[in-house]
Amino acid sequence: MAARLIDGKALAAGILERVRLQRIALGNKPLRLVSIYVGDDISSAVYIRNQKRACERMEIRFDLEHLPATATENDLVDRLHVLNHDDSVTGIILQRPLPPELRQFRLQAKIHPDKDVEGLNPANIGSIVYGMPKLVPCTALAALRCLKSTGVPLRGADIVMVGHSEVVGKPVAFLMLNEFATCTVCHVATQDLATKTRHADVIFTAVGKPGLLNGSMVKPGAIVIDIGIKQVPQVGPDGRPLLGDDGQPLLRLSGDADFDSVSAVAGWITPVPGGVGPVTVAMLIHNCVVAARLQQGLPIESALA
């Protein structure tokens, strides 16, 4: 039995329509998102392009501030201070990865919690722990929205989260606990990963290691939410890499799951691309509207309701 696909593009479209109505309810007040990009990381450039397009569709002003890789931590702290106190700024994004000499935690903590549309300020992470989330990390929120779209009950479910980053793994684990699921978090030091995943009703994986999860590691009918993403060479029928006109290998996006073998066993699966990715961008726009409502003292709506 082939797994049913969780269509991230369709989910994102529904989320954005709901957000559009919430945006209209805010009235004529302009919304503005400022994205701070340090250096020249290619993966950041792709995400920024998607952010800009989504903002334009929702009539949210998108400003990119591109700083050189030589920018200092104090330069960024000073800039964040200005943006925090600028009433025209609804949300602030600090693009990752940062140059290694810049401390992500210190800088993320300098973004005002109500303008932290990526949900990574310690105060916003803490609100998840207390079961009262406001601005939730976009990718973690998207992963849980993909899971909820299946309609499978989560109370009492056995969950395995492969990966324990502050951006995805840890927030997903706490969100699952808030749903009264039982969540096991696995990481680089976990012994015998397959034994743990084979007993899971739901597997989240966010490592960026293609082929990490295969069909033999999945319980029949389980839900697999593949958050990992990495570029890998395309291969032809003979198993050799395909080359472009310039002689360089052609690349494709791959998740952590070996799609063919896992989809033959699982009940539901997110494809890569086209799964969690589009929903992540939609959740960023959702968070922009949530931030605007927080700043106006208005009640907020959960993206998971």
DSSP string, the chain: -PPEE--HHHHHHHHHHHHHHHHHHTTT---EEEEEEES--HHHHHHHHHHHHHHHHTT-EEEEEEE-TT--HHHHHHHHHHHHT-TT--EEEE-SSPPTTS-HHHHHHHS-GGGBTT--SHHHHHHHHTT--SS--HHHHHHHHHHHTT----TT-EEEEE---TTTHHHHHHHHHHTT-EEEEE-TT-S-HHHHHTT-SEEEE-S--TTSB-GGGS-TT-EEEE---EEEE-B-TTSPBPB-TTSPBPEEEE-SB-HHHHHTT-SEE--TTTSHHHHHHHHHHHHHHHHHHHHTT-----TT-
Q: What confidence score (pLDDT) does residue 305 get?
A: 66
Which residue shows structure tokens 């406001």? 134
Span 224-249, mean pLDDT? 84
Residues 29 and 106 in one domain: yes
Q: Are residues 65 and 147 in the same domain?
A: no
Closest CA to 107 of 134, 128, 69, 80: 80
On whether both 91 and 185 belong to a single domain, the answer is: no
Residue 255 has pLDDT above 70, yes or no: yes
Q: Across residues 74-89, what is the average pLDDT?
A: 97
Average pLDDT over residues 213-236: 92
Same domain, 101 and 20: yes
State the pLDDT at residue 182.
98
pLDDT digits (tens, 9 = 90+) for 7-35: 999 999 999 999 999 888 888 889 999 99
Residue 247 pLDDT greater than 80, yes or no: no
CA–CA separation, 91 and 117 (whole Å): 6
Residue 1 has pLDDT above 70, yes or no: no
**Residue 212: which pLDDT band, with cuts at 50, 70 and 90?**
very high
Higher pLDDT, 257 or 96: 257
Q: Is residue 1, in this structure, part of any structural domain at all?
A: no
Residues 287 and 223 in one domain: no
Chain centroid to Cα 141, Å, comes to 7
Domain containing 174 equals 139-274
Q: Domain with 207 in it: what CATH number?
A: 3.40.50.720
Is residue 4 in a domain? no
pLDDT at 6: 98
Assess if residue 7 is contained within a domain: no
The pair of structure tokens assigned to 80 is: 């964040």
Q: Same domain for 130 and 165?
A: no
The tally of domains found in the chain comes to: 2
In a domain, residue 6? The reply is no
Q: Give me the percent of the chain exceeding a pLDDT of 90.
A: 77
The domain that holds 284 is classified in CATH as 3.40.50.10860
For residues 144 and 235, membership in a common domain is answered with: yes
Position 305 in a domain: no
Instruction: Please report the pLDDT score of residue 239 as a whole number.
Output: 77
* CA–CA separation, 27 and 49 (whole Å): 27
Q: Does 205 score more than 80 pLDDT? A: yes
pLDDT (tens digit per residue) in 267-286: 999 999 999 999 999 999 99
**Domain check: are 70 and 148 in the same one?**
no
pTM: 0.92
1-26 in b/e form (b: 16+ CB < 10 A) is eebeebbbeebbeebbebbeebbeee
pLDDT of residue 279: 96
Burial 134-151 (b: 16+ CB within 10 A, else e): bbbbbbbbbbbbbbebee
| Mean predicted lDDT score pLDDT of the chain | 93
Lowest mean pLDDT among 23-37, 108-122, 144-158: 23-37
